[in-house]
Amino acid sequence: MLYKDDWEQAQERLKAFWANDCLGRPALGVTAPRGKPLPGAPEPKAPEDLVTRRTDPEYLAARADFALRQTYFAAEALPVMWPNLGPGVMAAYFGSPVTVHDGTNWFGEVIADWERDWPRFDENCWWWQRTLAVTEAVAEMGRGKFLVGITDLGGTMDIAASFRGSQRLQMDLIEHPEQVKRLRDLLVGRWEWCYDRLLAIARRCNGEGSTQWLSVWAPGKMYNIQCDLCCMISSPMFEEFVAPELQALCWFLDYSTYHLDGPGALHHLDRLLAIPELNGIQWTPGSGAPPSVEWLDLLRRCQRAGKLLHVHDEVSHAEKIIRGLSPEGLYLALGGVRSEEEAHDLVRLAGQWAAGPREG
């Protein structure tokens, strides 16, 4: 891979990670500015129109290529472009109105009445066709250079929340439970269909395996599944409405992690740890919460349950995290690395910390 000299070695370490093992140290996601950017086309000019800037296939492919050439990917960090058309973009494929922002998109309500407004997937809709076009453009440009990820399809219950609005959907769990379950099951089936279509395109560039917004490669179908709605519902509601969705997606995927987003989601952790097919937990402390290094007891709990861990923090906390957790099945993404030399030193030190005594 042109933008990742040690791609084969990274693959072996990532295979060990997914096997809940390690090759001497945890898997590391370490990037830094390149001392000398790789040659290529200059940075493309951003289109003035916001929708074009967020969705134009040629522009997004060229912008990704430029950004990846400026970045050094150490250890198991990978050059990945994932087409980001907004979190939960699958809602748009069912007719959800889209409000485009500079950094994200928002998807509006489509179900005012459960009997009258049943959403239907439109394979010819502009947003689905644009997702395909962006993925194809990036896959064509990235061949031999970088990897292509799957767009953020979203969690199916989160998409249902887009269709109804989060507050109304929470009431629907009580007042219209069968309609919610029917919609959830419809969305799970279409989610899997969309994933397979996009993966087939991405593999023209990637070959085997898959990746998505975490930029972690796996040797089969992989995704970081989620349900942001879970922060607002009880454990019994989670068991009835969300757990079946997660179980189905874990059966569909070869490798899965769950996006555990902040302290508000922790009341469901035991249930998540009890899903045998769920490989791991991707911990995000959330806005305003202490960084991952302050959650080592929680992370050890996940490891004791046999789950992999994907954790992110700043480089200044790397030693404490590595010494505080088992290196087997640990992927540590680190920010704040300033140079290629610092990245090399960090990888070397990580091996020493992993070989030393555990703390805690």
Q: Are 89 and 203 found together in one domain?
A: yes
Q: Count CB-CB contacts under 10 A for residue 324.
A: 17
Q: Are 53 and 111 found together in one domain?
A: yes
pLDDT in the model for residue 259: 98
For residue 104, name the pLDDT band (cuts at 50, 70, 90). confident
Q: Are 270 and 182 found together in one domain?
A: no
Tell me: the pLDDT tens digits for 118-157?
Answer: 999 999 999 999 999 999 999 999 999 999 999 999 999 9
Tell me: the pLDDT tens digits for 236-249?
Answer: 999 999 999 999 99
Instruction: Look at residue 225 and tell me if it is in a domain.
Output: no
Query: How is residue 147 written in tokens?
Result: 């990897």
Q: Count CB-CB contacts under 10 A for residue 113.
A: 7
The CATH number of the domain holding residue 163 is: 3.20.20.210
Q: Are 205 and 307 found together in one domain?
A: no
Instruction: Look at residue 167 and tell me if it is in a domain.
Output: yes
Structural domain boundaries, residue 135:
35-69+79-215+236-253
Measured over the CA atoms of residue 298, residue 287, residue 282 and residue 158, the dihedral's sign is positive
Report the number of distinct structural domains present in the chain. 2
The residue type found at 239 is: E
Instruction: Look at residue 308 and tell me if it is in a domain.
Output: yes
Q: Are 194 and 308 found together in one domain?
A: no
pLDDT in the model for residue 30: 98
Backbone phi, psi, residue 4, to 5°: -150, 95
Tell me: the pLDDT tens digits for 279-326?
Answer: 999 999 998 999 999 999 999 999 999 999 999 999 999 999 999 999
Contacts of 242 (CB under 8 A, 6+ apart): 157, 227, 229, 230, 233, 268
Model pTM score: 0.96
For residue 360, name the pLDDT band (cuts at 50, 70, 90). confident
306: left (phi over 0), alpha (psi -120 to 50) or beta: left
Q: Are 93 and 170 in contact (CB under 8 A)?
A: no
Alpha-carbon torsion angle 223, 224, 227, 230, nearest 10: 140
